[in-house]
């Protein structure tokens, strides 16, 4: 496992815990941290034992306060065209592992966009989420204009983006921005319990289901149905499908092998 400057990573029982660790800057995502997240994702992706990636923030005050504003201050227009944060979050969304954002404290701008790129989001009673980029004269540029609208609907996304309002975890759950709202004390046990459910499933089926939902979401329904059908055909060719169906018939737990 690699050693990082701005991240803590730990692999435990199939879970890759990725902790953003710049609490003195509210875990603002500077170039170094983004590069390290990229490296960590490659590491997690390559590890067959890792099935779930949980992203959280160190320090208790912040998940991530967004892109590093000091670095944004000197960024030129053409530098904003590089894949950068948006490209990194695309990689995260395309990961074959299940990704969970555990949001405690601030998830603002690029920090909120990081959570939006995860498959599952959980917020605590201390969470504060928003896309305040317009306050800085820029727009959400790491998928926020697209993912937020797809997740909470265009009207709510426009309201949040145009006013820059910050909402709490309870409101985030009410509008569907996060799936679960828990107290700060319950956060770790909740993410572990969700990860535990995922770990019981066959990894190939997880990957195919994730692919079908993400890739099918943005295209016409007929083509999306074919994505589902073809993904299902791949699942039917796996030993895990034989094992999963057999285990049901034999009234025992399935032992999936990832093949
Ligand atoms: C750089 C940041 C930072 C950020 C906080 N800090 N957020 N530094 N970039 N995004 C630093 C502060 O400068 C300060 O450093 C230290 O962290 C503590 O911050 P405070 O403001 O004193 O803390 P607090 O009062 O608790 O307020 C926390 C906060 C506030 C609400 C999160 O810091 C804040 O509003 N931050 C900016 C949030 C934001 O606008 N995010 C969107 C960024 S744009 P010092 O050295 O003074 O102690 C974005 C674009 C993405 O994300 C797309 C790009 C492609």
Counting residues of the chain whose pLDDT is more than 70, the rounded percentage is 100
Query: Domains of the chain (ranges plus CATH)?
Result: 7-199 (3.90.226.10), 203-249 (1.10.12)
| Residue 108: predicted pLDDT | 98
CA of 28 relative to ligand 1 center, distance in Å: 6
Would you say residue 2 has pLDDT above 80? no
| Residue 78: predicted pLDDT | 85
Q: What are the pLDDT digits (tens) for 64-77?
A: 999 999 999 999 98
| Residue 26: predicted pLDDT | 98
Mean pLDDT, the chain, integer = 96
65 touches ligand 1 (CB under 6 Å): yes
Residue 158's CB is within 10 A of a number of other CB atoms, namely: 13
Q: What are the pLDDT digits (tens) for 179-196?
A: 999 999 999 999 999 999
Sheet holding 62-64, edge to edge: 62-64, 106-108, 128-130, 167-168
Which residues have CB under 8 Å from 76's CB, separation 6+? none
- Averaged pLDDT for residues 123-147: 98
Q: Which residues are catalytic?
A: 113, 133
Which residues have CB under 8 Å from 167's CB, separation 6+? 128, 129, 130, 160, 175, 177
Q: Do 46 and 10 contact (CB within 8 A), yes or no?
A: no
Instruction: Provide DSSP, 106-143.
Output: EEETHHHHHHHTSSEEEEETT-EEE--GGGGT---TTT
72-103 b/e (C-beta count within 10 Å ≥ 16 → b) = beeeeeeeeeeebbbebbeebbebebbbbbbb
pLDDT band at 258 (very low <50, low <70, confident <90, very high): confident
Residue of the CA atom closest to atom 27 of ligand 1: 26
Would you say residue 1 has pLDDT above 80? no
Closest atom of ligand 1 to CA, residue 69? 9
| Residue 24: predicted pLDDT | 97
d(CA 34, CA 182): 28
- Averaged pLDDT for residues 83-103: 96
pLDDT band at 5 (very low <50, low <70, confident <90, very high): very high
CA of 123 relative to ligand 1 center, distance in Å: 19
Q: Do strands 128-130 and 167-168 pair parallel, antiparallel, or not at all (unpaired)?
A: antiparallel
Would you say residue 81 has pLDDT above 90? no
Q: Per DSSP, which regions of the chain are E strands?
A: 7-12, 15-20, 52-57, 62-64, 98-103, 106-108, 120-124, 128-130, 167-168, 180-182
Q: Do 64 and 107 contact (CB within 8 A), yes or no?
A: yes
- Averaged pLDDT for residues 77-91: 91
172-184 b/e (C-beta count within 10 Å ≥ 16 → b) = bbeeebbbbbbee
Q: Which residue has the higher pLDDT, 103 or 1?
A: 103
Sign of CA dihedral 187, 254, 231, 96: positive
Question: ipTM above 0.95?
Answer: yes
pLDDT band at 141 (very low <50, low <70, confident <90, very high): very high
| Residue 3: predicted pLDDT | 86
Q: Which DSSP category does 171 fall into? A: H
pLDDT band at 15 (very low <50, low <70, confident <90, very high): very high
Sheet holding 98-103, edge to edge: 7-12, 15-20, 52-57, 98-103, 120-124, 180-182
CA of 220 relative to ligand 1 center, distance in Å: 39
| Residue 200: predicted pLDDT | 94
Q: Do 38 and 69 contact (CB within 8 A), yes or no?
A: no
Residue of the CA atom closest to atom 36 of ligand 1: 65
Query: Which residues does residue 64 pair with via DSSP β-bridges, in sequence order?
Result: 107
| Residue 41: predicted pLDDT | 98
| Residue 83: predicted pLDDT | 86
- 89: its two tokens: 């979050």
């Amino acid at each position: 496992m690699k050693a990082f400057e701005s991240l803590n990573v730990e692999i435990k029982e199939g879970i890759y815990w990725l902790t953003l660790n710049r609490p003195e800057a509210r875990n603002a995502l500077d170039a170094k941290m983004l590069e390290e997240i990229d490296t960590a994702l490659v590491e997690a992706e390559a590890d067959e034992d890792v099935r779930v990636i949980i992203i959280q923030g160190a320090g208790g005050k912040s998940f991530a306060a967004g892109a590093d504003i000091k670095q944004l201050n000197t960024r030129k227009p053409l530098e904003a065209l590089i894949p950068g944060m948006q490209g990194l979050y695309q990689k995260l969304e395309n990961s074959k592992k299940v990704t969970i954002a555990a949001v405690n404290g601030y998830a603002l701008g690029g920090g909120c966009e990081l959570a939006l790129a995860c498959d599952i989001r959980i917020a605590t009673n201390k969470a504060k989420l928003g896309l305040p980029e317009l306050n800085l004269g820029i727009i959400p540029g790491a998928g926020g204009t697209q993912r937020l609208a797809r997740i909470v609907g265009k009207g709510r996304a426009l309201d949040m983006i145009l006013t820059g309002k910050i909402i709490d975890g309870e409101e985030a759950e009410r509008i569907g921005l996060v799936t679960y709202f828990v107290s700060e004390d319950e956060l770790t046990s909740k993410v572990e319990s969700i990860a535990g459910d995922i770990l019981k499933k066959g990894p190939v089926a997880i990957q195919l289901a994730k692919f079908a939902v993400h890739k099918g979401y943005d295209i016409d329904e007929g083509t999306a149905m074919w994505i589902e059908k073809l993904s299902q055909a791949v699942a039917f060719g796996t030993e895990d499908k034989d094992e999963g169906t057999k285990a049901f018939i034999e009234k025992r737990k399935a032992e999936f092998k990832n093949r």
